[in-house]
Structure 1
C-alpha cells in the first residue's frame, strides 16, 4: 500500500531548529508526517538490502534520535506515531537486553494465545535473539508488509506485558516498589500492543495518516 504525501522540503538547520521550537500551529506535526513517509517511501522504493540494514541499524544507536523525538508526539493514527513506537521498543532492548529477554520468556510461558508464534523470537530466547527480533520487525516495515510487522510488534508487546506482570507478582512480597514499577511497565506494554494493532488496521484500510 502506498500513501501519497507532500515531498519534504529540505531546509537549513537554523530553519529546522526554528520549526521544532516554534509555536506555529501544526508545524512540527506536518514535519513529522513528511519525514516519516519520506523515509518509508525512499527505503521501500529502492528495495536495496544494504539501505534497509542501515536504516534498521540506526534504530539501535543514536542515528535518528532527532527525528524520532519529532515523531514521539504523534499518535497511532499516523505513520510517524507507529514508527516512533517501534523505534522505542528497539531502544528499550538496547538499554537492557537481559531484562527484555527475561520478560519475553516469562510472557511466552504465561501466554495462552498464538502471540509467541506471531512474535517469532529465535530459540533459545537470549538477549541477542530479542534484539534480533526487534530488528526483524523493523526490517519488515521497510522491506515487507508494514501491517504484518505492526501485528508482530503488537504480539511482542503483549508477551512483554505478561512477562512484566508475572515478574511483578514474583517480586510483590519482596520488593513492593519494584513490583509497582513492573506493573506500570506491563500496562505500558499492553497499551503499546493496542496502539500497534490499531496502526496495522489503519495501514490496511488506508487511513494511516
Structure 2
C-alpha cells in the first residue's frame, strides 16, 4: 500500500487579509447611510435655518450624485435614505432637462388636477418654474414637514408621468417609471404621516 504524500493546505498571504479588511462591510455601509439620512432629515428640520435649507438643496451638486448613489441608491423606498435618493434623483433630472420636464408637466396638469395643485408649480409651468418648485420642495426638508416634501414630490412626479403617457414622443416605459417613483414617494409620505419613517 503506497502512502499518499501529505500536503499542507496553502494559506492565504497577508495581501488576502488586507483586501478583506480594506473592503466595506455592506451592513456597516447601510447603517451609515441610514444614519446620515436621519441626521439630514431629522436634524435639519430641527435647525430651521435658511442656510441649512440651501445646503440641502445643493447637496447633490456639492457632493456629487455618484456619492449620494453610493450611500442611498440601494435603500428601500420606504426608508429615509431611499426617499432622499429619490428626491435628489428627481431634482437632478429636473435641472438636466427643465424644458422637457415643463412640457411633460404641462401635458399632464389638466389630466391630474389634484396632483397639479399639490405639486405647486407656477402657472404656466416653464423650465424655470419647475426648477424653482423642485428646490422649494427640497427646502421643505429643513423648513417644513418631511411628509409634505414627499407628497409634493409625489404629486409632481404623478403629473409628469401623466404628461409622459399622453405625449406622442414619450415611451410608455418612461411614463411607467415616473409613475412608480410617484407611488413610492406618496407611499413613503403616508408612512411618515402615520408613524415616521425609520
Distance (Å, rounded) in 1 between the aligned partners of 2:23 and 2:192 = 30
Correspondences of 1:160-179 after superposition (within 5 Å): 160-167=160-167, 170-171=168-169, 179=170
- Relative to structure 2, which stretch is displaced further, 43-52 or 93-102? 43-52
Correspondences of 1:25-174 after superposition (within 5 Å): 25-59=26-60, 61-65=61-65, 66-111=67-112, 113-167=113-167, 170-171=168-169
Aligned residues: 178
Unpaired segments ≥5 residues, structure 1: 1-17, 172-178
Q: Which has the larger radius of gyration?
A: 2
Any idea what the Cα deviations from partners look like across 1:145-201, whole Å, max 9, x if unmatched?
Answer: 11111111111111111111111xx23xxxxxxx4xx21111011101110011111
TM-score (norm 1): 0.78
Give 1:62 shift. 4.3
Alignment root-mean-square deviation, CA = 2.0
- Asked whether the 8 Å contact 1:68–1:87 carries over to 2, the reply is no
Distance (Å, rounded) in 2 between the aligned partners of 1:49 and 1:20 = 39
TM-score (norm 2): 0.82
Distance (Å, rounded) in 2 between the aligned partners of 1:101 and 1:193 = 17
Unpaired segments ≥5 residues, structure 2: 1-19
Give 3-state SS (helix, strand or coil) of 1:103's partner.
helix
1:196 equivalent to 2:185? Answer yes
Give 3-state SS (helix, strand or coil) of 1:73's partner.
coil
Cα 1:108–1:20 shift into 2, 3 Å: farther
